[in-house]
């Protein structure tokens, strides 16, 4: 009898359990977990730090090295999207403006 399906199923179930437990860790206790004030203040900045860690390399690097030219479609797109965000404070519009600048430069001009 072939049991080749058993290992992937067990791995999937194990990963699902680990994901649920780690994401629900702070919701499992009935009372709030005591955290030091410095940790509470630091956790406020965790989402911004994670977002920066993901986006910054995409803006400033290509193929693991810093961008050597200003003729890169990401620079004008980031500048325009940032300007739009500070003007209107809208996330969807920021994404639309950034892509509206990026795509013609990247696809149309080959930047």
pLDDT at 79: 95
Contact between 95 and 81 under an 8 Å Cβ cutoff? The reply is yes
pTM reported for the whole predicted model: 0.61
Contact between 111 and 71 under an 8 Å Cβ cutoff? The reply is yes
Tell me the pLDDT tens digit for each residue of 38-67. 998 998 999 889 989 999 999 999 888 998
The pLDDT of residue 28 is above 80:
no
């Amino acid at each position: 009898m072939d049991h080749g399906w058993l290992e992937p199923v067990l791995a999937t179930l194990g990963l699902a359990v680990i994901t649920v437990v780690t994401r629900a860790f702070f919701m499992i206790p009935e009372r709030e977990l005591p955290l030091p004030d410095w940790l509470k203040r630091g956790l406020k900045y965790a989402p911004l730090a994670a977002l920066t860690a993901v986006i910054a390399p995409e803006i400033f690097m290509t193929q693991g090295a810093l961008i050597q030219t200003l003729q890169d479609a990401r620079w004008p797109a980031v500048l325009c999207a940032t300007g739009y965000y500070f003007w209107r404070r809208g996330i969807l519009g920021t994404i639309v403006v950034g892509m509206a600048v990026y795509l013609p430069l990247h696809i149309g001009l080959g930047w």
